[in-house]
A and B are shown apart, each in its own frame.
Chain A
Amino acid sequence: MTRRTLRIHWRSRFVRRVAANVIVGLGLEFIFLLLQGSHLADFLEDLSLDWMIQMHSGTPPARSPAIPFTVVDIDEETYRKWGEPLLIPRDKLLRLVQFAIAGRAALVVVDVDLSRPAGVGGAQESVDVALVDYFERRSPLPEGVLDTRKGSGPTPIILVRTFRVPLSAAASSEPKDSFLDQAVSIAPDLYWAAPLFQLDRDFVVRRWRLWEATCGNKHGDVVPSIQLLVATLLLKPQNRTGGLEGVLAPFRHFACGTRSARPDHDSTAANQLRLGRVVLNVDESHLERRILYSIPWKLGPTDARPRIDIDGRPMPLLFQIPAHQIIDAPEGVAKDKMLGRVVVIGGSFLDGRDIYATPLGPMPGTFIIINAIHSLVQYGELQRPPRWVTGVVTALVIVVVSVVFAMFTSFAGTVIAGVIIILLLLPISFWLFQAGVWFEFAIPLTGVLLHHLYADVEEARRRGLRAAPDRQG
Chain B
Amino acid sequence: MASLVALAALIVFGWSCAEAGTGLVVGRVEGFEGGPADYRVLRDGRPIPVDFFLELFDGDEISVLHDSHRIRLDLYYGDGRLVEWGKRQGPLVVRAGAVPTVGMNFRRWAWSWFAQAREENSISVHVRGAGGVVPLSLPLLSERPGRVIAGTRTLALAWYGGRPPYQVRVYQVDTQSPMLSLEKIGEVRVRSGSIALPQGAYVVEVRDADGSQVSGRFEALLKDQVPADPAELSQSRLPDPVRNTMVAVWLASRGNGAWVLEAYQRVVPLAASYYPAGLLRDTLEQGERPASPPE
Nearest chain A CB to B211 CB, angstrom units: 14
- A126 CB contacts on chain B under 8 angstroms: 187, 189
User: Of B2, B99, B101, B163, which contacts A122 at CB under 8 A?
Assistant: B163
- Contact between B97 and A302 (Cβ–Cβ < 8 Å)? yes
Nearest chain B CB to A377 CB, angstrom units: 19
Q: Is B205 part of the contact surface with A, judged by Cβ < 8 Å?
A: no
Contact A59 B80, CB 8 Å, known A119-B188, A123-B186: no
Among the 9-residue stretches B5-13, B61-69, B232-240, B254-262, the one with 4 or more Cβ atoms under 8 Å from chain A is B5-13
Among the 9-residue stretches A4-12, A188-196, A389-397, A414-422, the one with 4 or more Cβ atoms under 8 Å from chain B is A414-422
Q: Which residue of B lies closest to A51 (CB)?
A: B109
Q: Is A199 part of the contact surface with B, judged by Cβ < 8 Å?
A: no
- Contact between B10 and A121 (Cβ–Cβ < 8 Å)? no
Q: Using an 8 Å CB-CB cutoff, how does the interface string of B94-133 with A read, 1 for contact, 0 for none?
A: 0111111110011001000000000001001000101101
- Contact between A59 and B109 (Cβ–Cβ < 8 Å)? no
Q: Is B164 part of the contact surface with A, judged by Cβ < 8 Å?
A: yes
Dominant SS among interface residues on chain A: mixed
Q: Is B78 part of the contact surface with A, judged by Cβ < 8 Å?
A: yes
- A59 CB contacts on chain B under 8 angstroms: 99-102, 105
- Contact between A302 and B98 (Cβ–Cβ < 8 Å)? yes
Contact A320 B80, CB 8 Å, known A57-B100, A302-B95: yes
- Contact between A306 and B128 (Cβ–Cβ < 8 Å)? no
Interface residues of A in 92-150 (CB under 8 A from B): 119-126, 129
- B146 CB contacts on chain A under 8 angstroms: none
- A320 CB contacts on chain B under 8 angstroms: 79-80
- B106 CB contacts on chain A under 8 angstroms: 55
Contact A419 B187, CB 8 Å, known A56-B102, A119-B164: no
Contact A124 B164, CB 8 Å, known A415-B7, A452-B3: yes
Q: Is A435 part of the contact surface with B, judged by Cβ < 8 Å?
A: no
Contact A419 B7, CB 8 Å, known A86-B128, A306-B99: yes
Q: Is B77 part of the contact surface with A, judged by Cβ < 8 Å?
A: yes
A430 to B28, CA, bound (A): 36
- Contact between B164 and A299 (Cβ–Cβ < 8 Å)? no
A319 to B163, CA, bound (A): 42
- Contact between B164 and A122 (Cβ–Cβ < 8 Å)? yes
Q: Using an 8 Å CB-CB cutoff, how does the interface string of B149-168 with A read, 1 for contact, 0 for none?
A: 00000000000111110100
Nearest chain A CB to B57 CB, angstrom units: 12
- Contact between A303 and B80 (Cβ–Cβ < 8 Å)? no
Q: Which residue of B lies closest to A57 (CB)?
A: B105
Q: Is B134 part of the contact surface with A, judged by Cβ < 8 Å?
A: yes
| Residue of A86, A304, A325 with most partner-chain B CB within 10 A | A304
A321 to B74, CA, bound (A): 11
Interface residues of B in 83-101 (CB under 8 A from A): 95-101
Q: Is B51 part of the contact surface with A, judged by Cβ < 8 Å?
A: no
Q: Is B217 part of the contact surface with A, judged by Cβ < 8 Å?
A: no
Nearest chain A CB to B174 CB, angstrom units: 33
Contact A430 B102, CB 8 Å, known A121-B163, A319-B76: yes
Q: Using an 8 Å CB-CB cutoff, how does the interface string of A77-90 with B read, 1 for contact, 0 for none?
A: 00000000010000
Q: Which residue of A lies closest to B11 (CB)?
A: A422
Q: Number of contacts between A and B (CB, 8 Å)?
A: 119
Interface residues of A in 311-331 (CB under 8 A from B): 314, 316, 319-321, 325
Nearest chain B CB to A457 CB, angstrom units: 16
Contact A120 B161, CB 8 Å, known A59-B101, A126-B187: yes
Q: Which residue of B lies closest to A411 (CB)?
A: B3
A86 to B2, CA, bound (A): 54
Number of interface residues of B (CB under 8 A): 49
- Contact between B77 and A305 (Cβ–Cβ < 8 Å)? yes
A129 to B130, CA, bound (A): 24
Q: Which residue of A lies closest to B132 (CB)?
A: A121
Number of interface residues of A (CB under 8 A): 46
Q: Is B30 part of the contact surface with A, judged by Cβ < 8 Å?
A: yes
- Contact between A319 and B3 (Cβ–Cβ < 8 Å)? no
A61 to B221, CA, bound (A): 72
Q: Which residue of A lies closest to B188 (CB)?
A: A123
- Contact between A314 and B78 (Cβ–Cβ < 8 Å)? no
A316 to B3, CA, bound (A): 42
Q: Is A332 part of the contact surface with B, judged by Cβ < 8 Å?
A: yes
Contact A304 B102, CB 8 Å, known A124-B186, A126-B187, A299-B78: no
A148 to B79, CA, bound (A): 40
User: Of B24, B105, B186, which contacts A314 at CB under 8 A?
Assistant: B24
Q: Which residue of A lies closest to B286 (CB)?
A: A120
Interface residues of A in 331-358 (CB under 8 A from B): 332, 334, 337, 350
- Contact between B2 and A411 (Cβ–Cβ < 8 Å)? yes
Contact A123 B96, CB 8 Å, known A59-B105, A415-B6, A419-B7: no
A350 to B186, CA, bound (A): 32
- A257 CB contacts on chain B under 8 angstroms: none
Q: Is A241 part of the contact surface with B, judged by Cβ < 8 Å?
A: no
A305 to B96, CA, bound (A): 9
A294 to B24, CA, bound (A): 22
- A54 CB contacts on chain B under 8 angstroms: 105, 109
- B160 CB contacts on chain A under 8 angstroms: 120
- B161 CB contacts on chain A under 8 angstroms: 120-121
Contact A55 B105, CB 8 Å, known A302-B98, A304-B98, A304-B99: yes
A419 to B13, CA, bound (A): 13
Nearest chain A CB to B91 CB, angstrom units: 19
- Contact between B78 and A123 (Cβ–Cβ < 8 Å)? no
Q: Is B72 part of the contact surface with A, judged by Cβ < 8 Å?
A: yes
Q: Is B31 part of the contact surface with A, judged by Cβ < 8 Å?
A: yes
| Residue of B24, B25, B102, B121 with most partner-chain A CB within 10 A | B102
A306 to B128, CA, bound (A): 38
- Contact between B30 and A332 (Cβ–Cβ < 8 Å)? yes
Q: Which residue of B lies closest to A126 (CB)?
A: B187
Q: Is A307 part of the contact surface with B, judged by Cβ < 8 Å?
A: yes
Q: Using an 8 Å CB-CB cutoff, how does the interface string of A414-439 with B read, 1 for contact, 0 for none?
A: 11001100100000001000000000
- B101 CB contacts on chain A under 8 angstroms: 59
- B24 CB contacts on chain A under 8 angstroms: 307, 314
10 tightest Cβ-Cβ pairs between the two chains A and B: A304-B97, A58-B100, A414-B3, A123-B164, A320-B80, A121-B163, A124-B186, A121-B133, A55-B105, A306-B99
What are 11 sample pairs from A and B whose C-beta atoms fall under 8 A apart? A55-B105, A86-B130, A120-B134, A121-B133, A121-B162, A123-B164, A125-B187, A303-B78, A334-B74, A337-B76, A415-B3
Binding site for B on A (CB under 8 A): 51, 54-60, 86, 119-126, 129, 298-300, 302-307, 314, 316, 319-321, 325, 332, 334, 337, 350, 362, 411, 414-415, 418-419, 422, 430, 452
Task: List 5 other contacts, CB 8 Å, given A59-B105, A415-B7.
Answer: A57-B100, A304-B96, A305-B99, A334-B74, A415-B10
